[in-house]
Amino acid sequence: MAAESIGQGSHRALLFYKTAEGGAGVLQRLVEEPEAMAEVARAALEICHFQLLEAGIQDLRPKCGAACYEGLLSYANQREVLQLDRHQIRNLLGKLAHSRTELRRLGRSRQEQLEWLRQLIDPRSHLERRGVAGRRRLPPSQRRPEGHP
């Protein structure tokens, strides 16, 4: 699984996606299991050398600085090394560690979603026409995770 920052300003979001076929249903678990995102946040706090306490968050390695190879740094993220700072995500991870994900059903039925997608198709795009015309699973517009800060 991987994540990328997308959008700008108030439309900025994280896009989570699978990096391999099959898998253990991680994305589905994050959406459907109320405690899954909190578990991920607690694990991320540990990776960043923080301990979640009732009174707050304790830094277990104050000498670590912004990031280290035992935590956030890897050879795959060398281009982002100056942007990585475990202290900047500590409070958000602390909030997520206490969060719950709840499914909400929003307005559209499957058929209404299909019709809406058909209206958005670029008539010049064979790929879009084929994708919406096929029997592929539609994007989950009716489900939205909640419980994040």
Nearest in space to 50 (alpha carbons), one of 81, 24, 71: 71
Give per-residue pLDDT as tens, 50-94.
Answer: 999 999 999 999 999 999 999 999 998 888 989 999 999 999 999
Answer for the pair 104, 144: CB distance below 8 angstroms, yes or no: yes
- Between 128 and 132, the more confident residue is 128
Which tokens go with 143?
A: 């489900």
Q: Is the pTM of this model over 0.85?
A: no
